[in-house]
Amino acid sequence: MSASPEAPTFQPTDGRRRVSDVVPVDALHAVRLTFMGIYLVAYLWWLKYMGLPIDRISVAISVGIFLVAAFVGRSWRTWGVLLIDCIFYIVMWTSYERTRDYGDNGFEVFGLFKVGPFPLQVDTMREIDRAMFFGHDPNVVLQRFWQRDIRWWDYIASTTYMTHFVFPIIAMAVLWYLSHRQWTRFMKRFATLLMVACAMFILLPTVPPWMAGDPRYNYEIIPELTRGAGRGFRDLGFKGFTHDYNVQLSKGNAVAAMPSLHASFALIVPLFFMQWIRRRWVKWALWLFPITMLTSLVYLAEHWVIDGLVGWAITVGGFWFWDRREQQVRDRRTARALADLPVTTNQTVPAGYVPYEAGRA
């Protein structure tokens, strides 16, 4: 009868083991950090002397340079995944840009029949705002604070407004570098928001307050409002940088007020990162950002209040949908893993595990 193999023995070691003893050393980690540091310095220099990149082309170039710095030395497989991610990213924004054409001219369904253009919403949102605020126009009320000289609240409103062009992109770039899984989770929610918003831009084209109050458009449904979203930002010494492409922002959809993507983007980033924040005061501080954004949008006559509230609702709805789907996937994987375990008398369900359906009940 042969002797059974001896169990492995573990010899005590002198002192604690280092992480490098069990985790391969990434020789290019310092190189990537250096490149990203150089990128940050260059970005801040560009922001100060050239302006904030606010059009799709400039932002895409900026993101591309960051990704090269963040992924230098990575495997070809990682670069392949990144390429697929970038294609998805480009398609998403290209689809968004196309909403102006579809909103203005309608679109054909499989070449069989044409849908749209749909009626322009002129006074509906204003009436909803008046109903919520007991007959008052929030845009008109807040613009009573508008003065010829720039005040401190103009700096806050204008700078908050301008963060729309970089805030979600920074979040995407950071997640791209830190965790592809979390980047995917964020993009599912972001793309859902953008898809619903694009559909509403086409089906419900809406005149913003500044246009409704501008005598050049002859709507005459609200007192004339002053539009100057960038004046506080410019007074601080900054400006917006736009790559040529016919001055890209001029190709934007002027009647895409419903829902407000400014308000939505200001909420989606804090809402996603909130899961990793433990300090209560930090959470409350983050919640102030979307509130400040919506207040700024109303003060600057860029949006009706209802535009922002609907944008928030779509954002929260996207999180609810994907949270539910991801929990269901985790439940199925856990159930399969438990089913594959050897059947023993001591087999138990892991402590704290609650199936999705049972938890919802």
What's the DSSP call for residue 54? -
Q: Tell me whether residue 172 is in a domain.
A: yes
By the 10 Å C-beta count (0-12 exposed, 13-18 middle, 19+ buried), 361 is classed as: exposed
Residue type, 343: V
Checking if the pLDDT of 64 tops 80, the result is yes
Q: Is the previous residue joined to 259 through a cis bond, with omega within 30 degrees of 0?
A: yes
Q: Tell me whether residue 187 is in a domain.
A: yes
- Going from the C-alpha of 278 to that of each of 210, 290, 323, 356, the distances in angstroms are 40, 19, 20, 24
- Going from the C-alpha of 84 to that of each of 75, 88, 90, 270, 313, the distances in angstroms are 15, 6, 10, 26, 30
3-state secondary structure 111-151: CCEEECCCCCECCHHHHHHHHHCCCCCHHHHHHHHCCCCCC
What's the DSSP call for residue 45? H
Burial readout 280-299 (b: 16 or more C-beta within 10 A, e: otherwise): eeeeeebeebbebbbbbbbb
Tell me which residue range forms the domain holding 277: 27-106+114-332
- Mean residue pLDDT of the chain comes to 82
- Domains contained in the chain, number: 1
Q: Tell me whether residue 356 is in a domain.
A: no
Q: Tell me whether residue 209 is in a domain.
A: yes
pLDDT in tens, 3-21: 555 555 555 555 566 655 5
pLDDT in tens, 293-323: 999 999 999 999 999 999 999 999 999 999 9
Q: Tell me whether residue 66 is in a domain.
A: yes
End-to-end CA distance of the chain: 58
The span from the CA of 253 to the CA of 138, in Å, is: 23
Contacts for 251 with CB less than 8 Å, ≥ 6 apart: 97, 100, 245
Q: Is the dihedral of CA 233, 239, 243, 244 positive or negative?
A: positive
Checking if the pLDDT of 342 tops 90, the result is no
The span from the CA of 264 to the CA of 197, in Å, is: 10
Could you tell me if 80 and 71 are in contact, meaning their C-beta atoms sit under 8 angstroms apart? Answer: no
User: What would the mean pLDDT of 166-182 be, rounded to a whole number?
Assistant: 88
The band of 289, judged by pLDDT with boundaries at 50, 70 and 90, is very high
Residue type, 164: H
Q: Tell me whether residue 158 is in a domain.
A: yes
361/54: higher pLDDT: 54
Q: Tell me whether residue 126 is in a domain.
A: yes
- Side-chain half-sphere exposure of 360, counting CA atoms within 13 A: 9
Q: Which two tokens stand for residue 76?
A: 């070809």
pLDDT in tens, 106-140: 666 666 667 667 788 888 999 999 999 999 999 99
Instruction: Tell me the DSSP string of 304-326.
Output: -HHHHHHHHHHHHHHHHHHHHHH
Burial readout 199-235 (b: 16 or more C-beta within 10 A, e: otherwise): ebbbebbbbbbbbbbbeeeebeebeebebebbebbee
Q: Tell me whether residue 346 is in a domain.
A: no
Checking if the pLDDT of 250 tops 50, the result is no
pLDDT in tens, 29-46: 788 888 889 988 988 888
The span from the CA of 285 to the CA of 280, in Å, is: 9
Strand partners, 109: 113
Q: What is the dihedral of CA 34, 37, 38, 42, to 10 degrees?
A: 170
| Residue listed under structure tokens 């089906």 | 203
